[in-house]
């Protein structure tokens, strides 16, 4: 299924077999003649959820500088050479409200996050997918030059640090708002196992899903019907896509076991 630009395609899956096809929508690369998807994915438990960052949800975008400054000050990580991008990734990783959004290259890992909490199984879930190659067209010239020199489509902290030393530099590069994607450093096994990357807006108060409207960027929303969630969840667990793997350690193990032994049969009385 080829997607058009300028609008968000909404796709509702029918069953498990249909889901397998729809997860890999538009994944054929015509130039390579390979199935090398140019999409990144974000799974959410409730279909009405937009692409809202934790800083957006806080409702205090002007506090971003103070949050990050104090995180760095109190972190006990004495590394004055650490770039703003590494600090942001570390802060997001540990739950500080930032303008970053978590994404994954894996549609199955996104599907995990859309079905992780069985307390929301009465609600339809959603997977957002955005073509990160299309999004490059809206970058400032300086960032396009860097990414083209590297022959890449996604930034690393080291690449961004060549041109952007502070968050204030983002607006200096281009007056119009833009979005970009970057891969975090391998802070721990969680980042690696989740095949993770981040998106970020050049202005902290802008919501990515609002910014996308009218843009020549292919994207789609995959609606996961609530009645499919337990089947999806059990099959993902069998395929080893679960907290035990994605959140290595005792916390992830405990969450996985709690769901694995959940009895969903109706009890009388």
Name the pLDDT band for 2 (thresholds 50, 70, 90).
low
Percent of the chain with pLDDT over 70: 97
HEC-encoded secondary structure of 7-46: CCEEEECCCHHHHHHHHCCCCCECCCCECCCCEEEEEECC
The string of pLDDT tens digits covering residues 139-196 is 999 999 999 999 999 999 999 999 999 999 999 999 999 999 999 988 889 999 999 9
Q: Is the pTM of this model over 0.85?
A: yes
pLDDT band at 52 (very low <50, low <70, confident <90, very high): very high
Q: What is the mean pLDDT of residues 105-117?
A: 97
Average pLDDT on 233-246 reads 96
Does the structure show a pLDDT above 60 at 123?
Answer: yes
Give the span between the Cα atoms of 112 and 14, in whole angstroms.
18
Judged against a pLDDT cut of 60, whether residue 268 lies above it is answered with no
Closest among 20, 75, 10 to 220, alpha carbons compared: 10
pLDDT at 269 > cutoff 50: no
């Amino acid at each position: 299924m080829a997607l058009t630009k300028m609008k968000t395609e909404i796709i509702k899956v029918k069953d498990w077999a249909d889901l397998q096809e729809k997860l890999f929508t538009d994944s054929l690369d015509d130039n390579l003649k390979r199935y090398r998807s140019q999409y990144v994915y974000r799974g959410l438990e409730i279909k009405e959820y937009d692409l809202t960052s934790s800083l957006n949800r806080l409702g205090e975008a002007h506090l971003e500088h103070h949050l990050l400054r104090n995180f760095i000050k109190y972190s006990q990580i004495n590394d004055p050479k650490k770039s703003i991008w590494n600090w942001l990734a570390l802060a997001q990783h540990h739950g500080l409200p930032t303008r970053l959004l978590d994404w994954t290259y894996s549609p199955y890992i996104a599907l995990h996050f859309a079905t992780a909490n069985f307390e929301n199984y009465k609600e339809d879930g959603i997977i957002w997918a955005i073509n990160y190659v299309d999004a490059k067209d809206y970058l400032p010239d300086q960032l396009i030059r860097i990414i083209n020199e590297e022959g890449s489509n996604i930034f690393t902290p080291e690449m961004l640090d060549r041109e952007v030393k502070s968050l204030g530099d983002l607006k200096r590069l281009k007056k119009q708002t833009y979005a970009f994607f970057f891969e975090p450093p391998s802070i721990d096994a969680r980042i690696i196992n989740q095949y993770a990357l981040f998106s970020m807006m050049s202005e902290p108060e802008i919501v990515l899903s609002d910014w996308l409207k009218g843009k020549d960027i292919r994207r789609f929303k995959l609606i996961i019907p609530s009645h499919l969630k337990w089947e999806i969840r059990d099959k993902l667990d069998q395929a080893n896509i679960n907290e035990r793997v994605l959140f290595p350690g005792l916390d992830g193990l405990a969450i996985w076991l709690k769901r694995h032994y959940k009895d969903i049969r109706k009890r009388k009385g």
